[in-house]
Chains A and B, each alone.
Chain A
Amino acid sequence: MPYNPALVAPMRAEVTRLGAKELTTAAEVDAALGDHRGSMLVFVNSVCGCAAGNARPALALALKHPVVPQQVVTVFAGQDLDAAARARQYFAEYQPSSPSMALLRDGEIVHFVHRHQIEGRSPQVIAADLTTAFDKYCGAAV
């Protein structure tokens, strides 16, 4: 059952204020991810403080890196149920986890950060993982 929207609003804002486009319906997910060219990071937001409390600051740190994905989008697991479920269809090879992050290039997943790769790690360590992937997959020379 989704949490109270008022409770979740700050968690949404923590991501959208970074420039991430929030996708709240399956149609919005299809419009963003279907036939997408270039690089895109999908941030699966989550309420759980055990991991999401570090994932959001990690995203903020990573997006300060000189090389970043061309587009960043976000869905909120446990809140926007249809959108999260549809997004997961685009990375169905991976088991559902939230928070998580999928880096896509031309529609293919090139890097995935699971919840278990976030848990217990500092935002700095998580961000370093992300920026290494950004350098590898989001640069012009890829």
Chain B
Amino acid sequence: MTGHVFHPGHQPLHGITVVVETHGELTYIGRFDTEDGRGVHILDATTYEPAAIRVSKADYIRKCAKFGVPADRKHLVVPVGDVARITPLGEFS
């Protein structure tokens, strides 16, 4: 089973935990599933919302990189037009 992949044929980021930054205040962290006409689908996700989470976005991302993603949404869709940048969370470790 070395190197075996159960779900071939997906987009390159499929299965990768990513940080989805938006043009607004919200940032989403979760496992990239796919992107379609509705937007970017991420699974097992958390949302950084400055008004609700009293740490900086950078600190929140660093915390997720060190301790993992406190997922509170099984599936969410970020509209394509909202997406400013998608970065693998592993790059913040």
Q: How many A-B residue pairs have CB under 8 A?
A: 65
Known: A56-B2, A116-B90, A120-B90. A96 touches B68 (CB 8 A): yes
B5 touches A50 (CB 8 A): yes
Stretch at the interface among B14-22, B34-42, B50-58, B73-81: B14-22
| Closest Cβ neighbor of B92 among chain A residues | A116
B89 contacts partner chain A, Cβ-Cβ < 8 Å: yes
Interface check A105, CB cutoff 8 A: no
Closest to A11 in B: B1
A120 adjacent to B4 (CB under 8 Å): no
Q: Could you tell me the dominant secondary structure of chain B's interface residues?
A: loop
Give chain A residues whose Cβ lies under 8 Å from the Cβ of B90.
116-117, 119-121
Asked if B6 and A48 make an inter-chain contact with CB atoms under 8 angstroms apart, the answer reads: yes
Would you call B15 and A51 a contact (CB within 8 A)? yes
Q: Closest CB of chain A to B77's CB: distance in Å?
A: 20
Q: Residues 109-125 of chain A: 1 if any B CB is under 8 Å from the residue's CB, otherwise 0?
A: 00000111101110000
How big is chain B's contact interface, by range? Answer: 20 to 34
Task: Report yes or no: B1 in contact with A14, Cβ–Cβ below 8 A.
Answer: yes
- Tell me the minimal C-beta distance from A15 to chain B in angstroms: 10
Give 7 closest A-B pairs by Cβ, nearest first.
Answer: A95-B68, A50-B15, A49-B5, A116-B17, A49-B6, A116-B89, A119-B16
